[in-house]
Structures are given as structure tokens and as C-alpha cells.
A and B are shown apart, each in its own frame.
Chain A
Amino acid sequence: RLLGRNSAAPVVRRELDDDMLEQLEELLIASDMGVDTALRVTANIAEGRYGKKVSVQEIKELLAQEIARIMEPVARPLPLYPKTPQVVLVVGVNGSGKTTTIGKLASQFKAAGKHVVIAAGDTFRAAAVEQLQVWGDRAGVPVLTAPEGSDPASLAFDAMTRAQAEGADLLMIDTAGRLQNRQDLMEELAKIVRVIRKKDPDAPHNTLLVLDATTGQNAISQTETFQKLADVSGLVMTKLDGTAKGGVLVALADKFGLPIHAIGVGEQIDDLAPFDPEEFAAALTGLEA
């Protein structure tokens, strides 16, 4: 196998031909990059090298460099603004990791000396509020709640009032998971945004779309629709500690250019890391560190 691990073997150079390009494409496709993007990325590295002799290590390094180059501009931490309370709305499809990510982010901001408040805007799912309360306790941050079944927009409004009154630096709002093709639920989200803007026309200052790394090409449609209806300002990808490589991020960077603020690498409170384009590219191409 061209792309197997055999670091101990002597360096073998092979001609960069169609066969090799196809194997590289497949390596990328198997990371969820999508066919079109994989074709483009391999075509870029083949340019000027076609027919030349290359080793497996060299070609993987080239691939990784190309991917890191694409990802570099979107690797940006969550921006902090002088205006307080800075409102961070967290959205995404069901089970992607929104609530957990809020717990992790709250803990990081709290450790950085920020006054953080969390609003439990998922008033739908069973025990969603209780789940977030545990995260609030772990992070040492208060959690504002409303009864199950109540209107999330009115909770968001109350949370804005309270965060402003308390002089909080950050207000993080959790929302219920929703599939992007559910128009009624997407409208509910748009309503949350409208209500928040009544209190502060610039809010939410950040709308984070949380994506699950195991998701395939549907992440593209998720990003497109959530951006259209909820004005997404940045991405977080969770579950990158598993076998999924999250290659769809490359397609997303190419298509939407949204910043990737952080990645989830586990279920514990510290398992949130900055997005590192080089590490990501190395993992994606199977390059040994």
C-alpha cells in the first residue's frame, strides 16, 4: 500500500501518476473531505509535479502543507469584544455537543477572569437544563433556567436583562438541537436572535455553530442553513478525539470561510483545544508527527 505506515523501510520514490493521485484523493475522501474538494486539493499539489519522482513521506507532507494552507486563515480563537455583556449564542443539530462545549468554554473564560453567565435555552429536551446545570457547577458559573416547555426566546430576553444588570462580561446561551431542514425550529431560532437584538442591536456578538466530526457531507448543508437563518459567526468541531477526521472542515473553509474557534477532544471540562491547522492536516493525511 502506498499510504500504509512503513517508516522503517528505505525511502522509495515513485512517479506521481494518475494511480497515485487517485490513492491520494481516496485518502482525503475517507476523511470526509468530499469528492470535489479532495480532487481540487490533490490537483493543486500535482501541479508542476506530475511525472516527477516522489516518496510517500514527501507527498503526504505536500498534502498536509496544502491543507494547512487552506485552513490557516480560518484558525481564529473566539474574539472578545470590549462591549459587555458579550452574547454568545450556541446552535447546531441534535447531539452535536453544544451543551458540553458551553461548559468547557465557560470554564476557560472563568479561568481567564471573566464574569460569565449561562442561559439554559434548551427548554425542550428531557433533562437538558439539569445537564447544563452540572456544567455550570463544574465551571463555577451561574445558570439561568426556565421551566421545560417554556419559550426559549423569552428566557433569552430575561437572561439578557440579568446579564446586563449583573455587569457580566459574557452571556452564553444554549439552544435545543435542531435539524436545519426543520423550518419551524429554524424560525424559533431566528426569533431568539430577534429578541436578543431588542436588548442589544449588536447581539449576539458570536453565534457558534457546533459540528460533530462524525458527520459527513451534511455538515455543508448545516453550515449553509444555520448561517442563513442564524447568522453563524464561527464554528466549533467536537469529537475529534475519535476515529473521525473532520475533513469536511476543509470543504467548509473553502466554501464559507467561517473561523474555526475551537475543537472538542473529549468529554471532560478541559477537553477543548484551539484549532491548529498543522496538527489537523497531519492527522487528516495520516502523517506521523
Chain B
Amino acid sequence: MFENLSERLGGVFDRLTKQGALSEDDVKTALREVRVALLEADVSLPVARQFIKAVEKKATGAAVTKSITPGQQVVKIVHDELIATLTGEGEPGALKIDSPPAPILMVGLQGGGKTTTTAKLAKRLKERDGKKVLMASLDVNRPAAMEQLEILGKQIGVDTLPIIKGEDPVAIAKRAKTQASLGGYDVYMLDTAGRLSIDEELMAQVEAVRDVANPRETILVVDGLTGQDAVHTAQNFDDRIGISGVVLTRMDGDGRGGAALSMRAITGKPIKFVGLGEKMDALETFEPDRIAGRILGMGDIVALVEKA
């Protein structure tokens, strides 16, 4: 569907000749194509712009290794910079779940995959880390949202907080906290309703929930197919609620995953996991190099440059 970067750069490669060091013109020519590739991969415009500027500085005047062309050299610098930006601090996939019961708050837009990811994470915590987990649905908006989490809990053998109809999200959060303490749980997870980042009422509501629970982790769940809107979502949720990490869902699709770069660049928070399907075990830790190649649409050239 999309012309990948290697094809795009094919022509540029031919034009750029070996010169020993990258000239400003070489870099500019190649980066124009890189910019288009990033935008086609759904990297948010301000992020793409900022990224290109950073690369331009690094690339201009850089020495060209003998065995590769200047164009390939630029691509290598771009690729390295992408990985550097995508890589978060700390152990990938690690969650702060010391001092039990540790609350984890799940937030995001409608339909992004919060409920599914809540259950996937609970399953992982239970099976890999041997934790006793309680899940609670605070979603009083979407029809059958609570039942959805309850069914998933039964599937994975993780307890869910009993449903009491008519209770508001803050009250449910309080009940989850109490239940988690009394029941000897290591972790309790709060799945919230989907909300637009500009919905004042619902954003205030989730703030109130945060203040009650004092979460150890606040995870923003984002659809990996997200386009330019990623910048608003990242900015508004982080400003308002303060997130500690990101999970990108639907990375089993054929999207280019530019949202990963947008999320990292805007929030500076680690992408902890990627969702790779609807099944409860379709969750993996985030691997920057895989996403970098995918965003550029060019595993092949990277391999070539790596050999050089």
C-alpha cells in the first residue's frame, strides 16, 4: 500500500555520491523522504518535525563509512535515533507493584482496549509474577462493560470486584481498595470507562478516582492504529491525570505504528507493552527495534546498513 522508505530513498541513494562526509544538502534531500515516511506511518506532525530536526543536526557532517552510500548512512542515523527515542527508562514491561495492595489505573479513549488489556495484564501478573490480583470495573457508562470484565476474570481465573449497580466510579474505587486490603491482594486494577481527552466532566471524574486510589501505575491504553490525534491524547491525558506508562494495542494489525513514536516523544513515559490480539495471552513487552523498522517500513535496508 505505502511506498516504503527504501523505495523512496532508492532514487535519493542514486543521486548521492560518496563524498567522505555527509553534506548539508545530502542530509536535507534524504530527510525530506524520511519525513514523508514518518507521516505516512502516522507519526504526529509536530513529533515528526522535531524528530527530523534532531536527526539533521546529528547527520550533517557525519563521516560516511566506506562501504555504504551517504543515503544509507542517513538511514542508519535515522534508525538509531528512532530506537533511542522509542526506548524508555527502566526494565521493559516492569510494573511498580511493591507495597501491596498496589493500585494500577487504566485510562484511555473509547474502544482503545482498556478492559481487554486490564485482563491481559492481570493474567500476566498472576502467572509470571505469582501475584494475587483483583480487578474492578469503574465503567458505569458503556453497556455491559462491567460484565465484560467479569467474564474475562472468570476466563483467566482472576477475581473481580462484585458489581453493585448504581455506584459511582469513585465509590467503586474505594470499595476496590478496601476489598484489596482485606482480601490480601498484591495488586488491584481499576478499569475505567473510555473518555475523550476534552470531556471535562469525565476527565474530572478520573482525576477524582486517581486521588482516591493513588495508583502506583497509571497506564494509558492507546490504539496502535491511531493517527495524528495521538498528540492530543498523549498530551491531555498526561497533563490531566499524569500517566506512568503506555500500552499500545492492535499491534497485530498492519498499521505502521507511528503512534508509538508520538506517545514516547510527547509523554516521555515508557511504552510498557504491546497488545497483539484479542486473546488473553496476546500481550508482549515493547521492543523498540521492531517498531522502528516497522515505522520506517524497511527491515531490509536496516539489515544492510547493519552489516556495513
Contacts and interface: CB of A to CB of B under 8 A. Distances in A.
Nearest to A126: B151
Contacts of B148: 125-127, 130-131
Nearest to A136: B143
A244 B196 CA distance: 10
Interface residues of B, number: 46
Given A212-B111, A243-B197, A243-B198, A134 B143 contact: yes
Nearest to B254: A181
A130 B229 contact: no
Contacts, number: 137
A134 B147 CA distance: 12
A212 B40 contact: no
A100 B116 CA distance: 18
B4 interface: no
B252 A217 contact: no
Interface string B159-199: 00000000000000000000000000000000000001110
B225 A93 contact: yes
A239 B225 contact: no
B89 to A, nearest CB: 27
Given A95-B112, A131-B148, A179 B250 contact: yes
B266 to A, nearest CB: 13
A56 B91 CA distance: 49
B142 A267 contact: yes
B197 A125 contact: no
Interface in B118-152: 141-145, 147-148, 150-152
B245 interface: no
A283 interface: no
Contact of A243 (B142, B196, B278): B196
Contacts of B147: 126-127, 130
Interface string B21-36: 0000000000000001
Interface in A185-231: 212-218, 220-221, 224
A216 B258 contact: yes
A32 B227 contact: yes
Given A214-B109, A218-B225, A242-B198, A93 B253 contact: yes
Interface residues of A, number: 45
A265 to B, nearest CB: 11
Contacts of B215: none
Interface stretch (A4-12, A23-31, A111-119): A23-31
Given A181-B254, A243-B232, A96 B111 contact: yes
Nearest to B36: A35
A215 B198 contact: no
Which among A30, A135, A177, A241 has the highest number of chain B CB atoms within 10 Å?
Answer: A30
Contacts of A213: 229
A180 interface: yes
Given A216-B258, A221-B254, A243-B229, A130 B143 contact: yes
A220 B40 CA distance: 11
B58 to A, nearest CB: 23
B228 A29 contact: yes
B223 A95 contact: yes
A131 B151 CA distance: 13
B236 to A, nearest CB: 8
B297 to A, nearest CB: 12
Given A26-B45, A32-B228, A131-B148, A216 B1 contact: no
Contact of B143 (A135, A220, A242): A135
Contacts of B39: 29, 35
Contact of A242 (B152, B228, B229): B229
Nearest to A266: B196
B228 A30 contact: yes
B155 interface: yes
Contacts of A127: 144-145, 147-148, 150-151
Q: Which of A31, A135, A218 has the most CB of B within 10 A?
A: A218
B221 to A, nearest CB: 11
Given A96-B111, A218-B42, A243-B196, A248 B250 contact: no
A124 interface: yes
Contacts of B69: none
Interface in B89-128: 109-113
A224 B258 contact: no
B226 interface: yes
A48 to B, nearest CB: 26
Contacts of A220: 1
A215 B111 contact: no
5 contacts: A29-B45, A130-B147, A180-B254, A218-B42, A218-B255
8 shortest interchain CB distances as A-B pairs: A216-B227, A95-B111, A134-B143, A216-B42, A127-B148, A130-B144, A244-B229, A126-B151
Interface of B: 1-2, 36, 39-42, 44-45, 109-113, 141-145, 147-148, 150-152, 155, 196-198, 223, 225-229, 232-233, 236, 250, 252-256, 258-259, 278
